[in-house]
Copies of this chain bind each other. A is one copy, B any other.
Amino acid sequence: MQFDDKVPIYYQIKNNLYHRIVAGDLAPGEKLPAVRQLAVDLTVNVNTVQRALSEMVTEQVLTSKRGVGNFVTMDTARITALKQRLSHGYIERLYTQLHALRLSDGEIVTAIQAYITANKEE
């Protein structure tokens, strides 16, 4: 995983885990790799991983059992809500940004369709 040095690493780790949970790559109830293992995988310090995880525990996206491991929540409704929140947020940001560049609603849709079309041919 590569990081954007403009954004805190722990924050990017959180988002990466969000994505893997929403995508089902990490299933409800599934145990995460140990914090030390995650740190190695991400070539990051344990504390940085811990910060990301502990925030997600507070948000109840993860649960933590001391001496055992960290687990994805079993509450699928919460995961669905997370997906909703993330996708809506991403779209809203894009819309705001393109609007600031003075693209009309129609131009925005067209630009995205053009991007997708161009991508398919690769």
Task: Please list the residues of chain A having a beta carbon within 8 angstroms of any beta carbon in chain B.
Answer: 6-8, 11, 19, 22-24, 83, 86-88, 90-95, 97-98, 100-103, 105, 108-109, 111-113, 115-116, 119-120
Contact = CB atoms under 8 A, between A and B. Distances in A.
Interface of A: prevailing SS: helix
Given A83-B101, A95-B119, A112-B112, 15 more contacts: A6-B8, A19-B97, A19-B101, A22-B102, A87-B98, A87-B111, A88-B115, A90-B97, A90-B98, A91-B94, A91-B115, A94-B112, A108-B116, A109-B112, A109-B113
Oligomer copy total: 2
A25 to B, nearest CB: 9
B87 A103 contact: yes
A100 B11 contact: no
B109 A91 contact: no
Contacts of A11: 6
A108 B112 contact: yes
Contact of A102 (B7, B24, B97): B24
B111 A91 contact: yes
